Every structure is written in C-alpha cells, then in structure tokens.
Structure 1
Amino acid sequence: MKIIAKIVCLLSIFFLSINSNAQGVNKRYPFVNTIFSAGLNAFENDSGYLMIGGVDSGIASIGIVQTDFEGNVLFQKTIMDTNLAYFAGFQGSLIKVSSGGYAMYGSVATSSWARDKLYRFNSVGDTLWTKTMGDTAFDQVGSQVKETLDGGFVCVGQNTQYSGQNWVVKTDSLGAIEWEQWYGSGVERPTAIALTPDSGYIFTGWTRSLGPGAPNNDNIRITKIDKQGNLQWNRVFGQTDDDNAWSINTTQDGGYIFGGSIRTVNTDSRTKHYAIRLDSQGDTIWTRAYNPPTLANSGLNGFRTIIELSDGNFIAAGQEVYTDSISFSRHDGLIMKLKPNGDILWNKTYRILGMNANGTDFEIKDIRPTNDGGFICGGVVYPSFPDTGTQDMWLMKIDSNGCVDTSNCVIVSSIESHTQLEEEQYTLKAYPNPFVYQLTIVVVLPQESTNAYLVIKDVAGKELCRTKLNSATNQYNIEGKQFSSGIYFYFIEDKEKIILPQKLIKME
C-alpha cells in the first residue's frame, strides 16, 4: 500500500473537450405515501421522459412518471387496487407500440394466487385495456413483452403449472391468446424475450434444469423458438454456481446479444458482469466476463440491460458493488459502452450527487437511446438514513459519452486512447466517489505490463500526481485534504496510452 501525498509533475499533456449539447438529468422520484418505488423502464417521448415501475404504499402497485426534458414532473399516476397487488414485470417490460402508446407485461396477485397481465396504455399513460392470463390454480409471473410483426404481442413469464416452466404467450393486437407454449422442467425463471429475423422469438432466463450445478444452482438459458412457438434450440452458459440472466436482444447481423452475470468459480470465484454474443444459429461468437471493483464477490454485480447501437457498438447498464472495508456494501449504477468484439470503450458508475453514504445504493434497470445520440436510464435509489427512508425511482439522462452534464463531459483528445490490449485485463476503481475525507484507488494490471503509471489531473489538464505502478495489484490511500472540492480525472498510462479515463469528485 502506498500513500499519494504530493504533486510530482506539473507538465500537462492532457486536453479536455466539453460536449456543449449535453442536457443531463439525474433525479429521484418518490411517490406520495409510498414505502418504495422502482423505475424499471424509461422512454423518451414528445413531452420528455416516461418512466414506469413498481410502487408500494402497503400493497404493490404500478407507478407512472412523466417528466419534461429537464426532469421536472409533469404528472404521476398509480395503477392500484385495494384488494389486488400489481407488478410491472422486469426491466424492458414496457414497450412503445407502432400504432401509438405503450404496452406492458406484468402480474396481478392476491395472497393465494398470481396471474400474468398485459396492459395497453395511450401516450399519456391512461389504460386502454388489460388482459389477465393464466389460471388461479397456479402462479404465473409476467416478465417482458414485445410487439410482433402482425401488430400483436409475444409475452414471456413463469408458469408453475409444470414446476415453474418458461411460459410464452402470443396474442393478437387486443390481447386475445393465439397460442401458448411451455419450455423446460424443474425450476425456470424467464426474464426477457426478443423477436428474431426469421419471424420467430428468442428468450433468456435462469434455469436449474440444465447446465453445470443443476438442479442446485442457477445457469443461463437462451432458447430459440419459431413463430408458432416450436423449440428450435437451447444454449446453456454458466459454471458451478449461481449465474444470472437479464437481457437478450437481436443484432444487426442476425445474431443475438445477451447480458447478465456469471460467477467464475473456475478461476477466482467472483461474480462479474457478463455478455454473450451469438450468431443466428446460436453459436458463440464471444463471451466476456468483466471484472468488478475491489475483488468484489456480490451476486448483484451484473448487466440488467444490453442493446446494440446503430454504429454496431453495445451499451449495457446495471449495478456494480464494492466490498472493501471503506465502501463496504456500496452499490453504484453502472454503464459500459462496448465495441462489437466486446472490448470496453468506456465504463462509468453513477450516483446522485450528495447521496454518498454507505448503504445508499443505486441500480440502473433500463437504458435506451435518445434522439440526440444520448441515453435515458431508469432505475432505483435505495437510500440510507438520514434520508426520507423511501426507495425511489431514479431517472438519469446522459449524453453519448456517458456524461450527465457539461461539468463531466470529458473526452481524451491529446493522448492516444488504449485500443490494442484487452481492456478487461485492467481494473481501475476509486471509492468512495464522490469522496470527502479519504479516497482509495485500486489498480490491477496485466502481468506483461511493466511501465504503467497512475495519473490524476484537474479539469484544466494540470497533472497533480503520477505514480509508478510496481505490481500487478496496487492500492493507494489518499487523504481528501490534499484536494480542493471539484472535479478531477484519473487514468492508467501504459506505453504512452491512456487506459480507463474516469472522473473523481471531491466534496466539501
């Protein structure tokens, strides 16, 4: 361990460019008289941003928030019943419909049964119609819906009629069931579904009936079916511990991209953010497990949503957990932008400024592109005391570089960015961030790296410290009093290339 205590270099070779078009939002949205709420879906629309998720005021309900483009609330609505509990499905359970408005797939329940429910909303969140599916003799839990090419819907959920199987339901445009099929045996929990180029469907979820560790551990299941629901192929991923499946989407080449988490028990027993790219036949193009910070081993690490962008890159969002002694149990929202081959373009964590206490946690559930080239995110704030004490919806708008506002829209422009070495061989994390009294920076290098440095600079590009990294794993404790309040930037410099440039915030 080494203490960074002084400025060692005053020569600035780092220039910053600011995206002047950024208009960020980073706000929490409590509902009146609720115990908690959670944003599961976020969209840009003509009025601003729409977010839908779960709320609870003693009974589970569905909450809708519409904001303007600055994040100011235009209206809030709640779908509730004093005798029934309503659930909003998983992230991605809300979709835009081609004829206007939205559709959502979730559940309705009593103390003795649960059934799936398909909702159809207009453009301002008013309910047009609902369809309840399933049988009260069994439990059904709705996960996600997509609009089909004929204007109908395909829904995926769990049905306990056959020991908790994957349940796919195809409906017409008014929610009438056209066909339904069950898949798997034993314990299954589907989470996401997508349309495929051949007019079929692909879904993913947890399985304990297939893969290593079954039936005692969760594995990742990816299943391809045709347009009538006939099984075409299964693919199973995982190791001999619990792995999580959250997102599946198609790619422009006719293949698929998956996001979730995996615990790499065959190597270091750490739960990591996990992405899989498949071709159209389900053959693996690549898999990537991305290292969490501070040797963290939390099952909450992982991607909740991953999608391909128009340029062929991917954007993934989720949560990152710290398990060190200083920031124990700190959870941050995470966004990664990935290249088509899975290499990291940038990797950033997010909180709401001023909410820095350990135990105040953040999770991004959903991320979608916006018309200005940025992204809108829906998620959850889990606050600690002193606070309102209520878990709230979290809405965040970022630009194309992952920046919330112009104060942190920083792009490296004078030193060549690192592009050749496998980025996942490096780890660079600072915590807590923002910091006040003490900052810890952890750096992990590939074995072949022999001339790397940790560099910290201010917003003007002035180099404040440059420290030689002498081992594969390095940890540095920095006293907060060495820094004035403000924004700083830190990165690894290896062979004159910048790796993992990130932002630091010093608070008073």
Structure 2
Amino acid sequence: MMKRFVTILFIISCLRLFSQTPVVLWERGYDNPELAFGSILKTLEGDFILYAGEQLTIKMTSDNQLIWETSGIHTNTITAKNITLHADGNIYSVKNSNPSIPNSLGLFQYDNNGVLTNQWSYPHSDVLFITKLVATQDGGFLISGHKTTSGSGISRNGWIAKLNASKVIEWEREISSSDAIQLQTATQTTDGNFLIAGHKKYDNGTSDFYLAKIDIQGNLVWEKEYGGSENEDVWAVNELVTGNYIFAGASISTDGDVSNNNGFLNVWVIVTDANGNLLNEQIITDGFLSFTESSIIVESDGGYTIGVINDNCVQGATNFNLQRFNASHQRIWEFCSSEGGLYDLVKTDDDGYIAVGFGTINGVSQAKAIKIGIVLDNESFALQNTSFYPNPVKDILHIKSDIVFNHITIYTVDGRKVMREQIQNNQINIEKLPQNLYIAKLVSENEQEVNLKFVKN
C-alpha cells in the first residue's frame, strides 16, 4: 500500500508539469564538420561531460556555461559508450589497444578537470572491440564488446570482463555460439547482476536482438533472442523501476516478434520480465532510416524516455527525436528538433533533458547539444518552487511559496489520512502529530495542487 500511494502522488504531480511537449531551452555547437558528441555523462555535482572523440571533451553546466574543454580522452569511436563517470569522482575510458602492446586493452583515469592521472594495460591474445564501459556497484568496472580470434577471419563472439576496484581483472567471459554474437551495450541491475545485449547474426545474413543476463561471477543466467525474418540489433538497455528490463535498437522485420513496422529501418523497443520473457514490443518510429544509439532514461513513474535519430518526424531530414512513454508504454509526448542526429541523452536535475549528437546551427554542420524542458507559467513555476521549512519540524510547519494555499491534507506514507486543515498565513501547527515521515497535499485558491514530504521530530 505504501509504495502504491507514494507512486500515485508522484505521478499526479509529474503529469501536471510534463504532459505537454518540451521546447528547446538552449543549443550549442562546435564548428567542426568532423565532430559529433557521442556521449553525455552527468557528474556528481550535477554538471555534464560531453564527449566528441579524442579531439574534444567539454564539461558544462545545465544552463550552458562552459567549465572546461580538453582533447585526448581515449576511446575507440565517437559513438561507442566506453566512457563513464565513477563514484570516486573520476572519468574513466577504455580503448581497444595500446600502440606499444598489440591486442591489448587500455583503461584510462582522468580527474574532474579532464587531466589524465593513471592508466592500466591488459594484454590479450585476441582482437577486442569494446563498445561499453560500466562503473559497477563494488567500485570496479564491467567492459563489454566482442572479439575476433587472431587469424580466424571475421567470426566474432561476444566478450565481457569484470575489473575489481583495484583495476584487476576478476574474470572474463566469451559469449559464443555457432552464430556470430556482437555485444553493443550493458548495464548493472539492482540485484548486482549484469544485462548485456547486441545482436546474433545467422549464416543467412539476418540477425536478432540478443539479450543475456550474467551474474556477478560471470556465469550465464539466461539468454534470449527476439526478432523477425530480417535484421534487428540492440543498442541500449536499462532496468525500469518496475523491475522489468527495456531494450531498444533497430529493426527491418515486419514479422515474428516485430509488429507495426510500416517503414524500412525503424526503432524497436521491447520490455521483458526479469527472466527475459517478452512482455511488450513496439516500433516507435515510422521512417525509412530511423535508429537509436542513445541511452534510455528510466523515469520514476515507471515510464521511460528514448532518444532516436528519426528521418520522419520532420519531413526531409534526420532529426533529434525524444519520445516519453508512461508505465503502460503509451507515448506521453514527442519532441522533434531541427536537422541533426542524436547519439546520447541525459536527464537534468530540473527535469529537463540534454541531447547530444551532430547537426546544423545557423547553416553550419557541427557537434551539437540541446537542452529541452517545459517553460512554466508563473503559477506552475511557483508551485514547482514551493517547499516546507523547517524540515524536519517540531511544531509549526511553514510554507515557502508565492502561492496562497487554502488547505492541507496530510497522509502517512502508507496512505492513511491523519489531518486536514485550513491554512492561515502559509503555516500549519502539526505539534500533535507523532514523529514520522508524512506526505502533504497543498491546494491553492484555484485548485492547483502540490505534494511535499516532511519529517515530524
């Protein structure tokens, strides 16, 4: 009951602010036709790292203020997601090879200013191609990609390795079958295990979504393939707040597990349970060459936001395209920008989104970043900035707001109503309430509502 009640209150407040389509709040670009931002990372301080290959990495604030820019952060390609932020505050990247050691793997550590401070090398007998670096809950890393055994031609197997907090390889695992497996992405789940995904390519040239779960020791828990009679490939994976898993990629098929593909290459999203069983699938674009290489943003209401390169949301060009879905997989809003291609996406502390990739600004092709969000009217802005003080509180709870509120209803976190009072001078006497955590619903003169938490000492 407690979890359901808190979720209901959260959804009510979120839908009031975000049921409308966001707009561009700012955009920035770097005038170099060779550059594209392939990754964006959110720092512990709430700033952002934008990576455009070894030529350019920048750190900036949410309101588009440049903090620093540098070059020389090592990864394989611009769009490979093998750069991450760690709980120790450092930036880490991984690259396939060290020029002095063929077929080796290099891990690089950079400080908060983008300065190289340490590096590690791991010789390997096979040719590795790394697509994802994940900072793990135990202070280590998961590295995923695929490998080609030296001299074996083009056959490929999936490959993952786990490093501990001392940057020592704990284990590595080859994901092999009679068909080629290429891993594109990975994430750690709340149970400490790992999801890995990419595609399995068959002898007839077609491919399916390949999904697998690996435990913390590197053992295979399950593996699944989903798709149709043509080609599918996963590029993003995450765990929803429901505990289900979401995978996004591209599909050409119109049969099998794939439904409603009315174009050619389109973005296909599937949701599975914790055992990899298919719960939901949908094509979310209607283009000719639409695909995604972006992260999936998991939303607190059980939904998700996906960034795609879409060639059909604005006719005649590829575009930055963001789509927000609720927990029932229904689209709440869709945003399409001017010409360009979106490679990654992150959510900001003020509930906006920063999307990065390439595009044109004032007619010039360049690495591009845009921030989108809701422009609030005066009352909505005031509601969003309403708060309680002091909090925790002993007797008199004050409301800090430009809004005049009429009454307050107070609930325990398990949904039991314990007080309903008229509000005088934006303050309430809660002295008689027992010590506990409470959720309060404030209602204004024109029936606008806001839900806030407070602690009674």
TM (norm. structure 1) is 0.62
CA positional deviation for 1:276:
1.0
Which of 157, 163, 167 lines up with 2:159 in the alignment?
167
In the alignment, structure 1 residue 312 sits paired with structure 2 residue 305? no
In the alignment, the residues of structure 1 paired with residue 35 and residue 127 of structure 2 have an alpha-carbon distance, to the nearest angstrom, of 24
In the alignment, the residues of structure 2 paired with residue 47 and residue 148 of structure 1 have an alpha-carbon distance, to the nearest angstrom, of 20
In the alignment, the residues of structure 2 paired with residue 199 and residue 150 of structure 1 have an alpha-carbon distance, to the nearest angstrom, of 9
Q: Tell me the amino acid that sits aligned with residue 372 of structure 2.
A: I
Q: Which residue of 1 aligns with 2:238?
A: 249
- Give the direction of change, closer, same or farther, for the CA distance of 1:254–1:343 in structure 2 (3 Å limit): same
CA positional deviation for 1:169:
0.6
In the alignment, the residues of structure 2 paired with residue 112 and residue 321 of structure 1 have an alpha-carbon distance, to the nearest angstrom, of 42
Tell me if structure 1 keeps the 8 A contact 2:160–2:173: yes
In the alignment, structure 1 residue 343 sits paired with structure 2 residue 330? yes
Q: Tell me the amino acid that sits aligned with residue 78 of structure 1.
A: S
Which of 288, 301, 305 lines up with 1:297 in the alignment?
288
Tell me if structure 2 keeps the 8 A contact 1:23–1:70: no
Secondary structure at the residue paired with 2:112? coil
- Give the direction of change, closer, same or farther, for the CA distance of 1:393–1:17 in structure 2 (3 Å limit): closer
In the alignment, structure 1 residue 275 sits paired with structure 2 residue 269? yes
5+ long unaligned stretches in structure 1: 1-15, 55-60, 352-360, 411-508
CA positional deviation for 1:248:
0.7
Tell me if structure 2 keeps the 8 A contact 1:49–1:71: no
In the alignment, structure 1 residue 87 sits paired with structure 2 residue 88? no
CA positional deviation for 1:102:
2.3
In the alignment, the residues of structure 1 paired with residue 318 and residue 37 of structure 2 have an alpha-carbon distance, to the nearest angstrom, of 16
- Give the direction of change, closer, same or farther, for the CA distance of 1:112–1:91 in structure 2 (3 Å limit): closer
Tell me if structure 2 keeps the 8 A contact 1:90–1:144: no
Secondary structure at the residue paired with 1:398? strand
Query: How many pairs are equivalent?
Result: 350
Tell me if structure 2 keeps the 8 A contact 1:49–1:68: yes
Q: Tell me the amino acid that sits aligned with residue 395 of structure 1.
A: A
Q: Which residue of 2 aligns with 1:199?
A: 192
Q: Tell me the amino acid that sits aligned with residue 187 of structure 1.
A: A
Secondary structure at the residue paired with 1:280? coil
Higher relative contact order (CA 8 A, sep 6+): 1
CA positional deviation for 1:268:
4.3
In the alignment, the residues of structure 1 paired with residue 99 and residue 251 of structure 2 have an alpha-carbon distance, to the nearest angstrom, of 34
What does residue range 90-489 of structure 1 map to in structure 2 within 5 Å?
90=79, 92-108=81-97, 115-135=104-124, 138-161=126-149, 163-185=155-177, 186-209=179-202, 214-266=203-255, 268=262, 270-292=264-286, 296-298=287-289, 300-302=290-292, 304-322=294-312, 327-328=315-316, 330-351=317-338, 361-381=339-359, 392-399=366-373, 401=374
Secondary structure at the residue paired with 1:345? strand
What does residue range 44-63 of structure 1 map to in structure 2 within 5 Å?
44-45=42-43, 46=45, 48-54=47-53, 61=54, 63=56
> Deviation string for 1:237-291 (max 9, x for gaps)?
1112222211011122322111112123336463222111111111111111124
> Deviation string for 1:341-361 (max 9, x for gaps)?
21101111112xxxxxxxxx4
Q: Tell me the amino acid that sits aligned with residue 297 of structure 1.
A: F
- Give the direction of change, closer, same or farther, for the CA distance of 1:286–1:43 in structure 2 (3 Å limit): same
Q: Tell me the amino acid that sits aligned with residue 198 of structure 1.
A: D
- Give the direction of change, closer, same or farther, for the CA distance of 1:302–1:50 in structure 2 (3 Å limit): closer
CA positional deviation for 1:72:
4.0
In the alignment, the residues of structure 1 paired with residue 328 and residue 293 of structure 2 have an alpha-carbon distance, to the nearest angstrom, of 17
Query: What root-mean-square deviation, in Å, do the aligned CA atoms of Structure 1 and Structure 2 show?
Result: 3.4
- Bigger-Rg structure (1/2): 2
- Give the direction of change, closer, same or farther, for the CA distance of 1:109–1:394 in structure 2 (3 Å limit): farther
In the alignment, the residues of structure 2 paired with residue 127 and residue 47 of structure 1 have an alpha-carbon distance, to the nearest angstrom, of 22
Secondary structure at the residue paired with 1:318? strand
Secondary structure at the residue paired with 2:295? strand
TM (norm. structure 2) is 0.68
